[in-house]
Amino acid sequence: MDEIQSWWEVPAIAHFCYVFRAAFNLFYIEIGELEAAILNIQDPEMCTSLEQLVIRLLQGCYDENSNVSEM
C-alpha cells in the first residue's frame, strides 16, 4: 500500500473523477477506495467498483447523445 500511495496518478484519477462526475455519471470515490480497488483486483467487490468506473468513463466518451458539436 505504501508504494501505491507514492504514485501521483492515483490522486490525479480521483480528481478527474470528482471534476467530471456529472458529465460521466460517476459515483463518488475516495482516493483510499481507488487505491484499494487497484491493489485488490482479485476482490470481486472492489473489482466491480473499478469495472463500473471504467465502463462509465468509456460510455461518456462514446455516448451517441452527447452535446458535443461536430467539426
The DSSP secondary-structure symbol of 30 reads -
Euclidean distance between the first and final Cα of the chain, in Å? 45
Q: Which residue has the cell 496518478?
A: 9
Please check whether residue 56 is in contact with residue 24, taking contact to mean a CB–CB distance below 8 angstroms. yes
**pLDDT at residue number 71:** 43
**pLDDT at residue number 15:** 94
Q: Which residue has the cell 500511495?
A: 5
pTM: 0.71
Residuewise pLDDT in 10s, the chain (71 residues): 778 889 999 999 999 999 999 989 898 888 888 888 888 766 666 667 888 889 998 998 887 665 554 54
